[in-house]
Structure 1
């Protein structure tokens, strides 16, 4: 159950990050659905990458010592998902813009 909650936090954080970037930079927007989907994928990838960085791995670890959900870890996963979703959406938007020009 804890893994499902962690994945949902990452997906929602990533989708939110993708939509924030889409609203802030209209040229990078992939549309609401596109921003959400790419952002959700970026949320998963961003949290995974953050877990590979020494020092951040404990922040986005997922579960507390007793096997229960750790609010700090979930917050870390949400933030890393938000950032990862925003970054991947921006990259996809840049690629889309570059392909549209050629």
Structure 2
């Protein structure tokens, strides 16, 4: 695992998480939680995609950053949707 790739995934995921919070204001978790969940989603998803695309993610580092930002936006949105859901008892 290349440390620069991981840094790009963390930063891109954090940016994606915050953009998702701005776009879906009703599901916004706040800047800190959006950043943490976005970074986790970007890094985790980026690592999975790196394993899927053994020859490298299409588009090189730019593709890696874009996909990590997209995956980083997904995790905060899922958490935002689940935040107000009540579990059946």
TM-score by length of 2: 0.83
Cα distance in 1 for partners of 2:65, 2:9 equals 5
Aligned Cα RMSD in Å?
2.0
Moved over 3 A (4+): none
Runs of at least 5 residues in structure 1 that lack an aligned partner in the other structure: 62-71
Partner of 1:58: 55
1:1-102 aligned within 5 A: 3-53=2-52, 56-60=53-57, 72-99=59-86
Structure 2: 5+ residue stretches without partners: none
Check whether the contact 1:47–1:60 (CA below 8 A) recurs between aligned residues. Answer: no
TM-score, with normalisation over the residues of structure 1? Answer: 0.73
**Paired residue total:** 86
